[in-house]
Structure 1
Amino acid sequence: LSLMRALPILDKGVRNNRWDGIAMAKPLVPLKDAQIGLIGLGRIGSEVVKRLKVFGSTINVYDPFLSQTKAAEIGVNLVGLEEIFSNSDAISLHSPLNEQTKHIINADSLVKMKPNAVIVNAARGGLIDTEALINALKSNTIRAAALDVFEQEPLADDSELKDLANVFLSPHLAWYSDSAIERLQRLAGEEAARAVAGEPLRCPYPL
């Protein structure tokens, strides 16, 4: 939401004694008219959809494991990856990291995006080619990015991402709140109890 309203750019502008807000912010697409593209629609992506619907945005999803029937039930448009790249005002990543998804955001995909497009990644750092993203941000190929995860963590001291006004950074903490910690501890305890009792696990992990 911050990026869609160009808040990081406007904040830096005001701190540098600029007051030409429209010039700094335009083009600015209202959320009710925005095309939001999600890559991957698992549990977290589905929760994002619920929240975006409040704003009236058009929500398009690329997920090779999602059926048209399920997409219709959720209220999203199931589209191809190229359409996500070319039509989205904002792209939010919700895919696991594997051979198929590594660097799904790269130099080729970035040049297909709208100049006002913003990218949000709170999934896996390797989904984005960092060097390609930095180049796209520096050249204004896209408007901005919000990153909670990175290919290298912690972020390198000399990372160019830190110097860019059109990037919003956080230290892999999108999941965190006081209540989230309590819930995580409770769920871990419940899962351990299921394992000891020989019951089916809620979140089995193949070894």
Structure 2
Amino acid sequence: MKSQDIVVLFKIESLTQRWINPNRYDAELLVPHDSSIDWLGDALLHNDAPPVAFTESLFSVRALEQDTGISKSQVSLSLKRMFDVGLAKADRKTGLPKTNTRALLEFIAYGIQYVFPAKEGEVTRGIATSIAAPVLQGKLMTSGELAPIWPYFKGQTKGVAVQPLHENIFAAIRTDDLTYALLALTDAVRIGHSRERGIAIDMMRKLLRVSS
């Protein structure tokens, strides 16, 4: 398993909620009204069902390459690995790849901090992640605390660097606030203490629509 596999799974779940099952998508959980998402673009949410050929193209290896910044060959390998271990499966109606959200949540809750650990580094500028991200706004940050950030030259937030799960993570989140939120919550599990991890997992459960 590679860390990029998690990025691919989150992107597939985001595409599913936006295009296949938009009633699952809840923007209010992602970004509070009074927050801003640094440099990110507007979310692309369409409530009308798009043509089948269009949705199939969104889930193609080529499209996933463009949406994640991960090469086609690596996306293909990621999908194979995730199907093999049960973290992805084919949707019964469409045949399109589908994230096994319950299994993914379990892995992130109990395994990711050991398989893909993260440490905070130098102070720099970038994109807010973990407890500083909009999805956790007002829940954990304390006054004067430096924000965890993904180092990025376009970022507007000054904070402590955290190495993202994939070097091209910014392609995956540029116009996708759900993927951004899920990756930020994952970082809260990777680098946080027990309280931060608990809150992050609870929020991720809501975003992934996994019942308790």
Using structure 2 for the length normalisation, give the TM-score: 0.27
Larger Rg: 1
Structure with greater proportional helix content: 2
Larger RCO (CA within 8 A; separation ≥ 6): 2
